[in-house]
């Protein structure tokens, strides 16, 4: 939910605010925005746990409803200050357009909201849970694009957004021509730049997550130099844009926007599939900061609060995900998880002996176990095996077997992906444990049941310094008495493109099949 708080109503909240011009803000408006901010905080708190996530979603919806309604009510009718715009638009025409906006735009906004609501409801009903990561990335791109469009709208029609100030150095002689203030230009430039980076980066993330682009890192020559150069150019252009006169700003803002779109592509293309959970949370953070920057430009308290909450929560989540992989945030955004490693070739080692079992074999051994720990991964999501897995766990518990689920922070393709799938299958929350809470229990487990996971159980992360996943905390499944590993074939490898020694351990039995079909067969043998 925290990734979607900004997407639909961004343009509505981006209505001009009198606070941008220094005028007093209606105390009731400030109170309404404060209340909506409190609901957003309660939403984030609720979303921190699966048990309270539904309540958190409702709080977020209520908060956004208050913010949108307040914005619509308080910005009709509007007025625009008289003066010369920096892009040569006649002020009388601008003022006339604003007045006509009062008469006609409310209906247009309501129509736009209705269209967006219909599209959103349709997508929500039809989207498969396995496609949720790419959907989140797609929505991030919309938030970023909205920030760019709002920023350009404010630049092209600053009078309607209350951004014009006198051109004298003190800013009090209203007989002089008007221009956009330097501070507003900086805020506008930051909002456009961050929004453009969010848009283009999210497009690449969507293409990778949806399989329309290879998940492998695409490494460009001298990419770090190029990235730093483009970022430096954006900073310089933003500074020049802030200091430039009205007639000099257009080429600067165009160049800054183009470079920001470019750097978004360049930052995400080198990042491999193993880092996608971090990328999703990072883009979530970017979308929040873009909204906050535009909130400062427009003097809209609701946008500032919402953007800051989304930006900070996304940044914290990115930090948590990086810690879970034993990586620094800088190394991830520089394009590097496994990008320069020599070990990950993308193909499994050949001619290594392994033991293959059947569903009947697995069912018999599971019935004899006292403690079973299930480790789900993206393969479970692809096969949509979560419901069959929950049924298997229920049958084992009826037979007196203790069953727990172990979730790695980076399992799947977005933060919390496995938690969402297990919650959808009605797995009790108190049976689901994070890595640090359950890793010590594998030594006492009779069976470690791995379904569709790979990198998060790969012991190479602890032993092989040449491996691209070296240093990432992983589950100690090698300490369990018996390991069942469900995967489609021995030829596949994880996101990082490295083989897994767990396949070939003496206590490992490979169950080569579609995850859902294999679990359903195990369930039949357990009845």
Closest CA to 3 of 269, 306, 274, 333: 306
User: Are residues 495 and 215 in contact, defined by beta-carbon separation less than 8 angstroms?
Assistant: yes
Q: What is the 3 state secondary structure string of 193-257?
A: HHHHHHHHHHHHHHHHHCCCCCCCCCCCCCHHHHHHHHHHHHHHHHHHHHHCCHHHHHHHHHHHH
Measured CA to CA, the distance from residue 123 to residue 128 in angstroms comes to: 9
Inform me whether the pLDDT recorded for 230 exceeds 80.
Answer: yes
Of 478 and 347, the one with more pLDDT: 478
Of 51 and 506, the one with more pLDDT: 506
Inform me whether the pLDDT recorded for 258 exceeds 60.
Answer: yes
Inform me whether the pLDDT recorded for 111 exceeds 50.
Answer: yes
pLDDT tens digit sequence for 416-475: 888 888 888 888 888 999 888 999 999 999 999 999 888 889 888 888 777 777 778 899
Check if 455 is active-site.
yes
pLDDT tens digit sequence for 363-416: 999 999 999 999 998 889 888 899 999 999 999 999 999 999 999 888 877 778
Residues 204-213, mean pLDDT to the nearest whole number: 83
Of 81-95, 253-267, 407-421, 459-473, the least confident: 81-95
Question: What band does 42 get if pLDDT is binned at 50, 70 and 90?
Answer: very high
Q: Which pLDDT score, from 0 to 100, does residue 401 have? A: 93
For residue 297 the two structure tokens come to 């430009």
| Phi–psi pair at 173, nearest 5 degrees | -90, 95
User: Are residues 290 and 352 in contact, defined by beta-carbon separation less than 8 angstroms?
Assistant: no
Inform me whether the pLDDT recorded for 91 exceeds 50.
Answer: no
CA 518 to chain centre: 32
Of 215-224, 262-271, 333-342, 360-369, the least confident: 333-342
Q: Which pLDDT score, from 0 to 100, does residue 348 have? A: 46
Q: Which residue among the candidates 102, 394, 428, 455 is catalytic per the annotation?
A: 455
Residues 335-361, mean pLDDT to the nearest whole number: 62
Mean of the per-residue pLDDT values of the chain: 80
Question: What band does 509 get if pLDDT is binned at 50, 70 and 90?
Answer: very high
Q: Which pLDDT score, from 0 to 100, does residue 13 have? A: 53
Q: Which pLDDT score, from 0 to 100, does residue 92 have? A: 46
Residues 17-30, mean pLDDT to the nearest whole number: 62
Residues 11-36, mean pLDDT to the nearest whole number: 65
Inform me whether the pLDDT recorded for 106 exceeds 50.
Answer: yes
Count the Cβ atoms, other than its own, within 10 Å of residue 471.
Answer: 13
Instruction: Please report, rounded to a whole number, the percentage of residues in the chain having pLDDT higher than 70.
Output: 81
Identity of the highest mean pLDDT range in 139-148, 159-168, 294-303: 139-148
Question: What band does 338 get if pLDDT is binned at 50, 70 and 90?
Answer: very low
Which helix (H) or strand (E) element contains residue 388? helix 386-398
Beta strands across the sheet bearing 447-451: 432-434, 402-407, 371-376, 447-451, 482-487, 508-512
Question: What band does 1 get if pLDDT is binned at 50, 70 and 90?
Answer: very low
């Amino acid at each position: 939910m925290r990734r979607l708080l900004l997407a639909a109503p961004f343009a509505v909240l981006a209505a001009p605010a009198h606070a941008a011009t220094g005028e007093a803000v209606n105390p009731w408006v400030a109170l309404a925005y404060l209340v909506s901010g409190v609901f957003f905080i309660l939403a984030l708190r609720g979303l921190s746990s699966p048990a309270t996530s539904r309540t958190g979603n409702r709080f977020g919806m209520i908060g956004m409803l208050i913010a949108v309604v307040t914005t619509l009510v308080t910005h009709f009718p509007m007025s625009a200050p008289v003066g010369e715009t920096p892009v040569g638009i006649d002020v009388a025409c601008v003022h006339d357009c604003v007045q006509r906006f009062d008469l006609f735009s409310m209906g247009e906004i309501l129509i736009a909201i209705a269209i967006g609501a219909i599209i959103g409801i349709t997508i929500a009903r039809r989207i498969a849970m396995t496609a949720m990561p790419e959907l989140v990335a797609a929505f991030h791109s919309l938030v970023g694009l909205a920030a760019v469009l709002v920023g350009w709208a404010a630049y092209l029609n600053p009078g309607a957004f209350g951004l014009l100030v006198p051109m004298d150095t003190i800013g009090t002689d209203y007989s002089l021509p008007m221009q956009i203030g330097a501070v507003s230009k900086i805020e506008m430039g930051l909002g456009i730049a961050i929004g453009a980076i969010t848009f283009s980066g999210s497009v690449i993330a969507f293409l990778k997550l949806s399989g329309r682009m290879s998940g492998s890192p695409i490494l460009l020559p001298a990419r770090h130099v190029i990235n730093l150069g483009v970022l430096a150019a954006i900073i310089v252009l933003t500074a020049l844009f802030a200091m430039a006169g009205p007639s000099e700003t257009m080429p600067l803002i165009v160049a800054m926007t183009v470079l920001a779109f470019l750097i978004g592509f360049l930052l995400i293309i080198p990042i491999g599939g193993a880092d996608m959970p971090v990328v999703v949370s990072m883009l979530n953070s970017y979308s929040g900061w873009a909204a906050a920057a535009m909130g400062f430009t427009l003097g809209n308290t609701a946008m500032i609060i919402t953007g800051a909450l989304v930006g900070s929560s996304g940044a914290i989540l990115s930090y948590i995900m990086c810690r879970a992989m034993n990586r620094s945030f800088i190394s991830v955004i520089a394009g590097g998880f496994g990008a320069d490693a020599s070990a990950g070739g993308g193909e499994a080692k050949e001619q290594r002996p392994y033991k293959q079992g059947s569903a009947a074999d697995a069912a018999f051994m599971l019935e004899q176990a006292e403690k079973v720990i299930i480790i789900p991964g993206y393969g479970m999501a692809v096969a949509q095996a979560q419901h069959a897995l929950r049924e298997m766990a229920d049958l084992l518990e009826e037979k007196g077997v203790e069953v727990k689920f172990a979730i790695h922070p980076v399992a799947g393709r977005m933060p919390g992906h496995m938690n969402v799938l297990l919650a959808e299958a009605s797995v009790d929350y108190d049976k689901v444990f994070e890595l640090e809470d359950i890793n010590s229990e594998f030594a006492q487990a009779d069976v470690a049941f791995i379904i569709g996971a790979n990198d998060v159980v790969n012991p190479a992360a602890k032993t092989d310094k040449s491996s691209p996943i070296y240093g990432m905390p992983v589950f100690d499944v090698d300490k369990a008495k018996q390991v069942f590993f469900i995967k489609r074939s021995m030829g596949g490898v994880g996101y990082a493109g490295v083989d897994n020694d767990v396949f070939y351990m003496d206590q490992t039995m490979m169950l080569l099949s579609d995850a859902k079909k294999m679990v359903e067969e195990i369930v039949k043998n357990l009845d």
